[in-house]
Amino acid sequence: MSAVDARAGARSADTVGAGDRPPPRRRRPRHLREYLLFLAFIVPNFFFVIVFAYWPVIYNAYLSLTSWNMLAPVKEFVGLTNYTDLLTDGDFLGTLRITVIFVLGIVLGSMVLGLAIAVLLNEKLIGRGFVRTMAFAPHILSGAAIGTIWLFIFDPNYGLLRPIFGVVGLASPNWMTSSKWALPGLIIVYLWKNMGFIATVYLAGLQNVPRDLYEAAAIDGSGPWHTFRKITFPMLSPVTFFLVITTTIGTFQAFDIIALMTGGGPGNSTTILSWFIYQQAFKAFDAGHAAAAAMLMFVVLIIITALQARFLERKVHYR
Amino acid sequence: MVAPARLSRRSLLAASGGAALALTAAGCGGGSGGGNGFAQASGDKVPDKYAKRTRVVVWHAYSGNPGTAITELAKRFNESQSDVYVEAQFQGTYDETAQKVTAAVQAKKIPDLVTFSEVNWHNFYLNDLLEPLDGYFGSGLKRSAYNQKLLSEGVLKDKLWWLPLARSTPIFYYNKTLFHKAGLPDRGPATWDEWRDWSKQIKGLKVKGKQVKMEAYQKVDGDWQFQGSVWQWGGAYSNGLNVAIDQDPAVAAGEWQRELIFKDKMAYMADSPSVDFQNQLIATLVTSTGGLQGMTEAAEKGKWEVGTAFVPKKEQQVVPTGGGGFGMLAYSPKDRKQAAWKFIEFCGKAENSAYWTLTTGYLPVIDAAVDEPDLKKRLADDPNFSTAVKQLDIVRKEDEVRLMVPNANILIYTGLQKIWANNTPAKQVFTDVAGQLKKATDKVRKNIEKHI
Amino acid sequence: MTTSTVDSPARRSSRGGRVLRYVLLVVVACVVLGPIYWLVTSALKPTADIYTYPPTWIPNPLHLRWSNFADAWHAAPFGRFFLNSLIVTAIGTVGEMLCATLCAYAFAFLRFPFKKVLFGVLLGAMMVPGHVTLLPNYLTISDLGWINTYQGLIFPGLGSVFATFLLRQHMMTLPGEVLDAAKVDGAGHLRTMFRVVLPLSRPMLITAGVITLVAKWNDFIWPLIVTNSTNMRTVPIGLLFLKTQEGYNNWGAIMAATVLVIVPVLVVFFFAQRQIVAGLTQGATKG
């Protein structure tokens, strides 16, 4: 996290701050006013973020060191036991494995599909404006609505996929009632939800690629795939950077659709980290393990985001 | 909107003051209430005509028909007397209701009466949050009025903590029309082996192009029906707090179902077996009595006939009970507890119990309810409806580990899903589940032993 | 935006290529719209037609079951739920956008020591797992006496990270000359913000506003926990009132209620979508 914004901040200093301001002289009084104004502007937002996001994290960090059933008057201090329990628990490690597949599947899949759709919609085709608008719509539906719709679509008996599979002479898999298909099924639902949003953002990026680059490529006799690889994709790298990070964070937090469609099952086949935390806290009433798992997720997300920022940014092409 | 004077000041403070307000306010506790710092949960504004009465907050888990019924009971109660005002509020499923009560206890702003599921109430009992109800019985409502088998399920340490309300048992449903087509007799099978023989005759049938199967297992919460299977095969989830799910009878019951799915190909795991039964995808189903009304309506629309029978036997003929009942929160002050009991008394009147049963399809928890004219007529007219009541003779309270150990039910049905969906051998699955159950039990063992 | 004309590199595509593109366009449209179409038509079918095979693709226009909507509407006080959702979403969105705008402006244009670190702290809040906030926030709201009130529904959502992030990224792309001109003018920061920055940020404000609004409208867990009574519930919770524990559900009515939940959001989106697309372009590609 800090890496992203450190960088973003650094850029901001370059673009807006230091460059166009006169060298500081007798900075004190004027700066003081600006500092105060800065504080006044950020205080409302920070107040709410601290009270309703960071205070819970602190409280949660404390809970992660206790054993507590969420009802007893006392919380017993147990040190790091909850953490060592989790990290030696096969089920929890399985959860991590499933989380990795889930996140990778959704992030990679929706990036590829989104980019492909964006490239398609970037062509001058009749009706593309309509498709572009509609493609975004799934992104704003509530999880409850999406879960309800897709449960029906996946239903092996009445679902919409049965006739579609029937066309090619196959039986529709028992998506949500099969350990093999439930995770891919969920990934499909999230791809459906995400890809239009990603396509829209990519499309915007595509339209900002200067035409002269393509013209130059055309003169060089470069083929379409080559042009895409050498010009389009590099030019899109800032978009990719933004999308990968926000999609990753969003996917880690995925919950409501899973709650409605699989409840983490069958078996543990769709128990990702966020569902595990929910189940430990509100089904097993095991606040300590839930809190420890949540702290791990928090830290993992920060690390992943920082790494992504570092790795991707090296490849980002800024104009 | 609510109490604007106080709120505007508060919101002003919250918006302009520092985080300190939120954090220090924690020390002040919350307003009026019992001597122990517990206040009553907030809710809707009390209607003016009831303003001077004692307000009782009931949190329940009923939507649909049961929701209508409990709302109606509260309304009738409020109109029937002049001391108590009951506010009944829907809080989501049993689990969501329990979660809300958990949060409410932490916040020390609690309801007075809550409908807990047969599993959830134990957790509150074990943390000393429930009120023993024995002392409240009297001329208004006698202890003997209740079905004693159902009532006894709320007893621990010789005291009553949980009163039956929305109770049900699994019964055996079958599609009479399909049975007729397959040349089967118009009755439920006596044993599971007979049932399996019959499945061979069902096998050839097709409805709307789909091969009809014999039964389906419920993906989530299927451990309730399976509790019955384990007993029927002569085993148990646990004996006392000793986990027994990895022993032979339970494993045999699991293997039976695995064979049906993967060898006979006559069963499968479903999101909603009831829906599949209603659509004639399966010919028989073991599920709650509470679904009867829905089945009957669906059968009428689909032009077929639904039949019910006792659940078949294997080694034994026995079924579990399930569903919800009232628990009273111990930290509610005395006057409100007394007032809350008035509502329980009202629900315990034979005519009200009959009304509840007729509207919801749940078992009559008050014995005398079956003599009320409406219910009596219904029982006589509809043999399906009376199956459940007759089956009350063979019900048993669920095994302790499933009831008392938090998360045990989820551990069990997650294991069952592996058998049903992955074809994992039952022995292997139940060995794992037993390990998890033992670990979970050990965490709470001391506390449970203190309380039973 | 510098270039808005779209001229793809593969102009010299063959006729076959064009046909293929149209086929793909139709496939994309079907994949995206199919589920939504199916939801909407199901809301007009009797339950028996929802659970049927082969599926009824086009419901009989003479037998549309509008009563599903009436059933859903009467199963719970949806009128009240809509009012509550409107109040909470409207006030919550305006409040959050206010916080976000001020904060974004400060991070984009004002100097402060350790500004980057502070911004990092703010972004970190996006990574807080959702469930950990439930109990502590319930306790905080309870201590304030706000359980089952609009304040309790609204306040915990006022802090803004994503919207602040979007707005700040956007503000940093504004041409420096505009701001300098404002400075020379002697405009104070407040005036610069209202006269120059905000008008230039309109698309992004709308984008962030819609994203914020959608999240608030769809929110489920927090409203369920923080409200106790029917009078204070919001629309997404209304769906719960339609489902029973015993698994017998009037699916037609549930579908109708689901449509009721999503329609307001879709309407807002269609009105705002042009701006949103413009806003996202600026936010994501530059900065």
Distance in Å, alpha carbon of A84 to nearest chain C alpha carbon: 20
pLDDT in tens, C30-67: 999 999 998 888 889 887 777 777 777 787 777 788 88
Which residue from A259, A305, A292 is spatially nearest to A57, judged by alpha carbons? A292
pLDDT at A314: 63
Domains of chain A: 83-318 (1.10.3720.10)
Burial A217-232 (b: 16+ CB within 10 A, else e): beeeebebeebbeebb
| Cα gap B190→B157, rounded to integer Å | 37
B294, C139: Cβ pair inside 8 Å?
no
Domains of chain B: 51-168+322-394 (3.40.190.10), 170-320+405-451 (3.40.190.10)
Positions in chain B short of pLDDT 70: 1-35
Q: What are phi and psi of C196, to 5 degrees?
A: -110, -55
pLDDT in tens, B237-272: 999 999 999 999 999 999 999 999 999 999 999 988
High-pLDDT (> 70) share of chain C, %: 90
Using a CB-CB distance cutoff of 8 angstroms, which residues of chain C are in contact with residue A279?
none
Is C130 part of the contact surface with chain A (CB cutoff 8 Å)?
yes
Q: Tell me what the mean pLDDT of segment C18-41 comes to.
A: 91
Using a CB-CB distance cutoff of 8 angstroms, which residues of chain C are in contact with residue A240?
none
C246, B62: Cβ pair inside 8 Å?
no
- Kindly report the pTM of this predicted structure: 0.87
| Cα gap C287→A208, rounded to integer Å | 14
Is A179 part of the contact surface with chain B (CB cutoff 8 Å)?
yes
Residues B40, B33 contacting (CB under 8 angstroms)? yes
B279, A157: Cβ pair inside 8 Å?
yes
Structure token pair of residue C23: 């086929």
Structure token pair of residue C65: 């079951």
**Range with top average pLDDT, B284-293, C99-108, C273-282:** C99-108
CATH of domain C73-286: 1.10.3720.10
Residues C271, C209 contacting (CB under 8 angstroms)? no
For chain B, what is the HEC assignment? CCCHHHHHHHHHHHHHCCHHHHHHHHHHCCCCCCCCCCEECCCCCCCHHHCCCEEEEEEECCCHHHHHHHHHHHHHHHHHCCCEEEEEEECCCHHHHHHHHHHHHHHCEECCEEEEECCHHHHHHHCCCECCCHHHCCCCCCHHHECHHHHHCCEECCEECCEEEEEECEEEEEEHHHHHHCCCCCCCCCEHHHHHHHHHHHCCCEECCEECECEEEECCCCHHHHHHHHHHCCCCCEECCEECCCCHHHHHHHHHHHHHHHCCCCEEEECCHHHHHHCCCECEEEEEHHHHHHHHHHHHHHCCCEEEECCCECCCCCEECEEEEEEEECCCCHHHHHHHHHHHHHHCCHHHHHHHHHHHCCCCCEHHHHHCHHHHHHHHHCHHHHHHHHHHHHEECCCHHHHHCCCHHHHHHHHHHHHHHHCCCHHHHHHHHHHHHHHHHHHHHHHHHHHC
Say if residue B278 is exposed, middle or buried (CB neighbours under 10 Å; 0-12, 13-18, 19+): buried
Using a CB-CB distance cutoff of 8 angstroms, which residues of chain C are in contact with residue A45?
99-100, 102-103, 122, 159-160, 164
Q: Characterize the bridge pairing of strands B163-168 and B170-175.
A: unpaired
C229, B87: Cβ pair inside 8 Å?
yes
The radius of gyration of chain A from alpha carbons, rounded to an integer in Å, stands at: 24
Is C187 part of the contact surface with chain A (CB cutoff 8 Å)?
no
Q: Characterize the bridge pairing of strands B155-156 and B159-160.
A: antiparallel
Identify the sign of the CA torsion A39, A40, A45, A47: positive
Selecting from B41, B64, B209 the residue whose C-beta is nearest the C-beta of C228 gives: B41
Q: Which residue has the tokens 């370059």?
A: A14
Residues A253, C133 contacting (CB under 8 angstroms)? no
- Sequence spans of domains, chain C: 9-65, 73-286
pLDDT at B4: 37
B293, C149: Cβ pair inside 8 Å?
no
Using a CB-CB distance cutoff of 8 angstroms, which residues of chain B are in contact with residue A174?
268-269, 421
| Cα gap C1→A149, rounded to integer Å | 38
Helices (H), C43-159: 47-50, 67-75, 78-109, 115-124, 134-143, 150-154
| Cα gap B263→B267, rounded to integer Å | 10
| In chain C, residues 31-90 whose CB comes closer than 8 Å to chain A | 31-36, 38-39, 42, 50-55
| Cα gap C43→C239, rounded to integer Å | 13
Which residue from B420, B426, B445 is spatially nearest to B230, judged by alpha carbons? B426
Using a CB-CB distance cutoff of 8 angstroms, which residues of chain C are in contact with residue B61?
245
pLDDT at B18: 38
pLDDT at B249: 96
pLDDT at B15: 39
Render C134-165 in DSSP notation, one character per residue.
Answer: HHHHHHHHHHTT-TTSHHHHHGGG---SHHHH
| Cα gap B79→C74, rounded to integer Å | 23
Q: Taking phi first (over 0 means left), then psi (-120 to 50 degrees means alpha), and beta for anything else, what does residue A10 get?
A: alpha
| In chain C, residues 246-265 whose CB comes closer than 8 Å to chain A | 254-255, 258, 261-262, 265
Q: CA distances (Å), B397 to each of B230, B289, B348, in order?
A: 13, 16, 22
Is C103 part of the contact surface with chain A (CB cutoff 8 Å)?
yes
| In chain B, residues 29-88 whose CB comes closer than 8 Å to chain C | 30-31, 41-45, 57, 59, 61-67, 87
What percent helix, strand, coil does chain A show, rounded to 5?
75, 0, 25
10-residue stretch averages of pLDDT, chain A, 319 residues long: 36 38 53 89 96 95 93 91 93 94 97 94 86 87 88 84 81 84 95 92 80 82 84 82 88 91 90 93 90 94 85 58
**C103/A72: higher pLDDT:** C103
Residues with Cβ within 8 Å of residue A277, at least 6 apart in sequence? A290, A293, A294, A297, C129, C131, C132
Using a CB-CB distance cutoff of 8 angstroms, which residues of chain C are in contact with residue B68?
none
